[in-house]
Structure 1
């Protein structure tokens, strides 16, 4: 049998044919986890992000955008380091839960955060996003398999 010579077009096509389906599966799985986390976050908040953002509320937009990024950071770390889709799913769910718990804890510690965001007080939004991003970075570092 003639094996393709590494670096040739045939070898590249062969690698693409075997690797692309796995890449697409993992990428779509990660996007689904990101969408799920974002939807759950929006269900947990005491305010309606869509209504506030469509009304020009910068604080709501900042918090929702920061939440999406904070959810994506550990998921991206897992995607880069986890070759098995089932591991990505399980640990991705753990990462999403940790980020949602972070939001709940920060909201309780910051007290009237919902009212601050509804009133478009940007200071509360900045602090919440900073907390979420800090925990996301730690979460991502902890998720790297040994």
Structure 2
């Protein structure tokens, strides 16, 4: 019974911290974009939805690896921050190679959103694989 209680406690702590990290990612990522991601999604802008969804999925993939491989809560927090930074760098790199991508997303050009979302997921997968040791 003690093992079950310890397991449930660890689950609750890691799950709760993951939700906090996900919320932090959403705040930082949407602050970094020059447009209001949520407003565009509410306006049914598919490009913004694809980009934001890809970024969220990419971060969550890396975050799940951080949970699986961390040896402590501090270790998890450090890797969660690294995962967040990697996703932000991915966004900035895409903007570097596609300087008009933010305008294209604002204009609702779905291919631009798909590219940004796909790069974010790819970086999340690479990030997750790199978090193993």
Q: Which band: TM-score by shorter chain? A: over 0.9
Unaligned runs of 5+ in 1: 1-12
8 A Cα contact 1:71 1:136, kept in partner: yes
The list of structure 1 runs, each at least 4 consecutive aligned residues, that deviate by more than 4 angstroms after superposition, is none
Query: What RMSD, in angstroms, separates the aligned Cα atoms of the two structures?
Result: 1.1
CA shift for structure 1 position 83: 3.6
1:108-123 maps to which residues of 2 (within 5 A)?
Answer: 108-123=96-111
CA contact (8 A) 1:58 1:120 kept: yes
Q: In 2, Cα distance between the equivalents of 1:23 and 1:51?
A: 33
Query: Which residue does the alignment assign to 2:46?
Result: 58
TM-score (norm 1): 0.86
**How many matched pairs?**
133
Corresponding residue for 2:9? Answer: 21
**TM-score normalised by the chain length of structure 2:** 0.94
Q: Distance in 1 between matches of 2:18 and 2:39?
A: 27
Shift of 1:81: 2.0
Higher RCO, 1 vs 2 (CA within 8 Å, ≥6 residues apart): 2
Asked if 2 retains the 8 angstrom alpha-carbon contact of 1:75 and 1:95, the reply is: yes
Question: For the Cα contact (< 8 Å) 1:37–1:100, is it kept in 2?
Answer: no
Any unmatched runs of 5+ in structure 2? Answer: none
Contact 2:49 2:113 in 1 (8 A): no
- Map of 1:140 onto structure 2: 128
Partner of 1:92: 80
